[in-house]
Amino acid sequence: MGDLAGVRVLLGVTGGIAAYKAALVARLLVHAGATVDPVLTRGAERFIGAATLEGLTGRRVRSDVWEDIPGESHVALGRAADVALIYPATAHTIAKLAGGLADDLLTTTLLAATCPLVVAPAMHTEMWQHAATAANVATLTGRGVHVIGPASGILMGGDVGAGRVVEPEDAIAAVRAALASAAPDRDLQGRTVVVTAGGTREPIDPVRYLGNRSTGKMGFAIADAAARRGASVHLVAANAGLPTPDGVTRHDVTTALELRDAVLGLVDRADVVVKAAAVADFRPATVAASKLKKADGVPVVELTRNPDVLAELGAARSGPGERPLLVGFAAETDDPEQRGWDKLKRKGADLLVVNDVSRSDAGFATDTNHVVILGADGSRVEVALAAKREVADRILDRVVAGLGD
C-alpha cells in the first residue's frame, strides 16, 4: 500500500495540451494508494478522453454541473477531498479561482472545498508573464494555495520559455507537501491548555459597562490551533461573539471576577494557561441597581481594583518553569517591548506576547497580528505580520519548546 492510502484527491484537469499528462498524474496517485476523483472542464475534454481517466482511476469522471443535482456533486466532491490538484491549470481557470467565480463543475467544487489546493499552471510565456496572471497567482498564493511551476522548456507550437506544466512526479510531491502542511504535528497531544479570550465588561448599571475593544479573535485562534495540535482545550471567552472552534470546550464569562473564577476552576488540570483576554484592571466599586438617569446629573463612578489573574497564577508557583506554563499578553502603545519585559517579570509568566496595539494591522479586532514573544529565559522571538491563526501557531511553537518532553 502506498503512502497516499486513504487520501482522496480531487484531480481537476483544464483545457491545455498538457492535459494528456494528467493521465500519468492519475496513474501515479492511484499507484501511491490515493482515491482519485477526476473533474474535467469542457476544454479539458477536447484534449483528453474521460475514458482514459476513468480507466486509470476506476472512478467516474465528472464534468457537468447539471448532472446529479440532488446529489450536489460539487459540494459532495469538495467536502470529500483531502487535497485538490489542478493539473494542468490554464490562465483562465487561475483567473476564475482568484475571482471566486464558479461557472462549471470544477470551479464550483473548488469553491465548496476547504482542503489544501495545489495548482500546476501551464500556458504560453506571454500569458504567464501577463500582469493579470501574476496578480491572480499572487492572490491564490496569498490565500495559501500551493502554486507549483510552471517549468521552462518547449511549449506548444515550438516556442521555448516559462509555461510548461511541471512533471507529474513534481506535482505528486507538491500534493504530499500540501497534505503535510495541512496536518500539523499533534505536539500538544495529552496536554490540557486553558485559553482566555475577549474583553471583560464591568457593569456600571443594568445597561452600561466599562469594556474594551477585544473581539476574542486572537484567543480563539490560539484555542483552535491548540486543539488542532491535539490538546484538550478550555476556552474562557469574555463577551466574544465568535463561533467555538471544533473540539474546544467553551466557558462564557462577562466580568473579570467571573473570568478569574473560571480560570481558577480549571488551573489544577492545566499544563498551559494562555491569557490573551483583555481583562479590566478596574471595576465600578458599586453597581447601580437601576439605570442611572441623565436628569440626576453626571454620575461619579468610583472604581476599585480587579484582581490580576495572571499575576495571581504566577505568584502561586515558586517560579518560572513550574506547571502550568504561563503565557501572558501585553497590549501596549508606548515602548511595548520594555513594558513587556517588565510585565513578564512582575507577573511571573514564562512567556509574554507583546502586542503593539498602536498599529492598524495588529492588536484589537484585526485579522492579522505582529507580536514579539519574550521568554523568562531571556529569549526574544519576533513574529512578522501574519494572520492571527498563523501567529497562534508560532506562539504554540514556543509553548511546546517550553514544555519540553
**Measured between alpha carbons, how far is 63 from 335 in angstroms, rounded to an integer?**
58
C-alpha distances out from residue 383 to 71, 146, 283, 368, 375, Å: 45, 22, 33, 11, 14
Distances from the Cα of 302 to the Cα of 15, 284, 288, 306, angstroms: 71, 6, 12, 13
Q: Which residues pair with 381 in a beta bridge?
A: 373
The contact mask relative to ligand PMT for 102-141 (x = CB under 6 A, - = no) is ----------------------------------------
> Which residue in the set 364, 385, 390, 397 belongs to the binding site for ligand PMT (CB under 6 A)?
364
Residue 19 binds ligand PMT (CB under 6 A):
no
Q: Which of 19, 9, 30, 15 is nearest to 78 (CA)?
A: 9
Annotated catalytic residue 136: no
For residue 205, the minimal CB distance to ligand PMT (Å) is 22
Binding-site member from 56, 277, 301, 373 for ligand PMT (CB under 6 A): 277
**3-state SS of 307-340?**
CCHHHHHHHCCCCCCCCCEEEEEEEECCCHHHHH
Judged by CB under 6 A, which of 34, 44, 331, 383 binds ligand PMT?
331
> What minimum distance in Å lies between the beta carbon of 336 and ligand PMT?
10
* Residue among 167 and 390 whose Cβ is closer to ligand PMT: 390
Query: According to the binding rule CB under 6 A, does residue 328 interact with ligand PMT?
Result: yes
Q: Is 355 in the site for ligand PMT (CB under 6 A)?
A: yes
Q: How far is the CB of 401 from ligand PMT (least distance, A)?
A: 19
How far apart, in whole angstroms, are the C-alpha atoms of residue 277 and residue 78? Answer: 36
Length of the chain: 405
Q: Is the dihedral of CA 283, 286, 289, 294 positive or negative?
A: negative
Of the listed 212, 239, 306, 355, which one is catalytic? 212
Q: Which residue has the cell 518532553?
A: 405
Inter-axis angle of helices 91-99 and 105-112, to 10 degrees? Answer: 40
Q: How far apart are CA 324 and CA 253, in angstroms?
A: 22
Which of 275, 370, 394, 398 touches ligand PMT (CB under 6 A)?
Answer: 275
Q: Which is nearer to ligand PMT, 127 or 257 (CB)?
A: 257
Partners of 355 in the β-ladder: 331, 371
Residues 101 and 187: their CA atoms lie apart, in Å, by: 38
217 binds ligand PMT (CB under 6 A): yes
Q: Residues 85, 194, 236, 279: which binds ligand PMT (CB under 6 A)?
A: 279
Q: Which of 306, 325, 373, 389 binds ligand PMT (CB under 6 A)?
A: 306
Q: What torsion do the CA atoms of 160, 161, 162, 163 make, to the nearest 10 degrees?
A: -30
In whole angstroms, how close is the CB of 325 to ligand PMT at the nearest point?
14
Contact segment (CB under 6 A) with ligand PMT among 16-24, 47-55, 164-172, 274-282 equals 274-282
Identify which of residues 267 and 279 has a Cβ nearer to ligand PMT in the complex. 279
User: Count residues contacting ligand PMT (CB under 6 A)?
Assistant: 27
Window contacting ligand PMT (CB under 6 A); options: 223-231, 328-336, 374-382, 394-402: 328-336
Which of 226, 151, 160 is CA-nearest to residue 191?
Answer: 226
Query: Which residues, 169 to 198, sit near ligand PMT by CB under 6 A?
Result: 196
Exposure string (b/e) for 302-315, b if CB count within 10 Å is 16 or more?
A: eeeebebbbbebbe
Applying CB under 6 A, the span of 37-45, 105-113, 304-312, 395-403 interacting with ligand PMT comes to 304-312
Sign of CA dihedral 194, 196, 197, 202: positive
Exactly one of 98, 117, 330, 392 binds ligand PMT (CB under 6 A); which one?
A: 330
**Between residues 137 and 253, which has the closer beta carbon with respect to ligand PMT?**
253
Q: Which is nearer to ligand PMT, 171 or 276 (CB)?
A: 276
Q: Which one of 92-100, 245-253, 273-281, 372-380 is the stretch in contact with ligand PMT (CB under 6 A)?
A: 273-281
Q: Applying CB under 6 A, does 278 fall inside the site for ligand PMT? A: yes
Do 94 and 140 meet the contact criterion of CB atoms below 8 Å apart? yes
Question: What are the residue numbers of the active site?
Answer: 212
Binding positions for ligand PMT, rule: CB under 6 A: 196, 214-218, 256, 275-279, 281, 306, 308-310, 328-331, 343, 355, 357, 363-365
